[in-house]
């Protein structure tokens, strides 16, 4: 148990040290994405490629999303106050929700524009598509690598998901442009757009599930409530427990409240010992902020619920 607790503290310390790096990585990703979006719009117009123009719209949404993510990460660092008693951590999750929503809207727009082109293909400049695809892989690849070590926040993961999908999309465009160049099968261009859009939608739905779990205050993924309660019940002077509530502020910072029933005649020193031991067990289960309420045997619980 001691080893598990120390490992948890070590992981949290690394997470706190990395917060500064998250902001710097997001700034780099924003600059790269903004610059390349401009190139995409120009390149898409020149090559008449629906795949490139669709990705330009997508990357424009990414740029807005990364900008909002950067802003929300900054807000999330603020200290708690009388209005936000738990602090501003959930703003980071709000940023992840906005980012994912933009990604969904962009994907639907890609489908809307690409399906007619699939039914009625138009000629595209395949060689130009190749060069744009290479640039896309380089720009988005660098940005994704920069965010890879950006911590475990949902906001950072949502933005990195954007960039990794862009890299995969550009790989598909590169392969497709080579095929178009040698076969003149122009329907491949809108087909690529549709494939990328479907892949993006399937990926973002998974991320949205994680985000919604935070907003709906479900238990953190992997949290073993039964095992934790069993350990606490094994403590001396803990007669029973109830009203265990566990939730997460941002998918990374977890909170728990619990009621413990102790003997009616337990001394103040004994109460402190129960709290200390229970607190140690709870924190070993990756809970950052536990609240432990003690009740005496025979008392009516007025705070149950």
The owner of tokens 């598990």 is: 4
| Domain(s) of CATH 3.30.70.1350: residues in the chain | 225-296
CATH number at 2-215: 1.20.1510.10
> Sign of dihedral through CA atoms 27, 30, 34, 39?
positive
Percent of the residues in the chain that have a pLDDT greater than 90, as a whole number = 22
Between 25 and 108, the more confident residue is: 108
Residue 224: pLDDT above 90? yes
| pLDDT score recorded for residue 15 | 46
Name the pLDDT band for 257 (thresholds 50, 70, 90).
very high
Between 176 and 95, the more confident residue is: 176
Mean of pLDDT values over 31-55:
82
For the ranges 115-119, 189-193, 292-296, the one whose mean pLDDT is highest: 292-296
Residue 292 and residue 264: Cα distance in Å, rounded? Answer: 17
Run of H or E including 65: helix 50-76
Residue 44 and residue 28: Cα distance in Å, rounded? Answer: 24
Residue 265 and residue 274: Cα distance in Å, rounded? Answer: 14
Helix and strand numbers, DSSP H then E, in the chain: 9, 3
| Domain(s) of CATH 1.20.1510.10: residues in the chain | 2-215
Give the strands of the sheet with 289-296, arranged side by side: 240-248, 254-262, 289-296
What would the two tokens of residue 198 be? 């479907």
What class does CATH assign to 225-296? alpha beta
Virtual CA dihedral for 73, 79, 84, 85, nearest 10 degrees? 130
98 CB neighbour count, 10 Å cutoff:
19
pTM attached to this predicted model: 0.67
Please give the span between the terminal C-alpha atoms of the chain, in angstroms, as a whole number.
30
Between 278 and 39, the more confident residue is: 278
What would the two tokens of residue 284 be? 């070993």
């Amino acid at each position: 148990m001691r080893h598990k607790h120390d490992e948890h503290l070590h992981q949290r310390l690394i997470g706190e040290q990395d917060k500064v790096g998250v902001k710097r990585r997001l700034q780099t990703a924003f600059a790269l994405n903004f610059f390349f979006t401009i190139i995409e719009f120009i390149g898409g117009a020149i090559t008449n490629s629906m795949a490139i123009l669709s990705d330009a719209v997508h990357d424009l949404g990414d740029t807005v999303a990364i900008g909002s993510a950067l802003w929300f990460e900054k807000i999330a660092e603020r200290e708690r106050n009388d209005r936000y008693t738990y602090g501003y951590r959930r703003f980071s999750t709000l940023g992840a929700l906005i980012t994912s929503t933009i990604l969904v809207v962009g994907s639907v727009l890609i489908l809307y524009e690409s399906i007619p082109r699939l039914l009625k293909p138009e000629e595209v400049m395949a060689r130009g598509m190749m060069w744009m695809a290479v640039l896309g892989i380089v720009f988005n690849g660098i940005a994704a690598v920069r965010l890879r070590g950006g911590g475990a926040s949902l906001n950072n993961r949502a933005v990195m998901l954007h960039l990794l999908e862009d890299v995969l999309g550009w790989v598909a465009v590169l392969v497709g442009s080579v095929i178009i160049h040698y076969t003149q099968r122009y329907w491949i261009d809108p087909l690529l757009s549709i494939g990328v859009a479907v892949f993006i939608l399937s990926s973002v739905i998974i991320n949205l599930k994680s985000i919604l779990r935070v907003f709906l205050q479900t238990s953190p993924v992997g949290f073993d409530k039964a095992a934790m309660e069993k350990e606490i019940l094994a403590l001396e002077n803990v007669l029973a427990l109830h009203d265990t509530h566990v939730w997460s502020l941002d998918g990374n910072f977890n909170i728990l409240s619990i009621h413990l029933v102790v003997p009616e005649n337990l001394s103040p020193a004994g109460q402190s010992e129960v709290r200390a031991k229970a607190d140690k067990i709870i924190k070993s289960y990756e809970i950052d902020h536990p609240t432990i309420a003690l009740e005496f045997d025979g008392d009516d619980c007025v705070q149950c619920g």
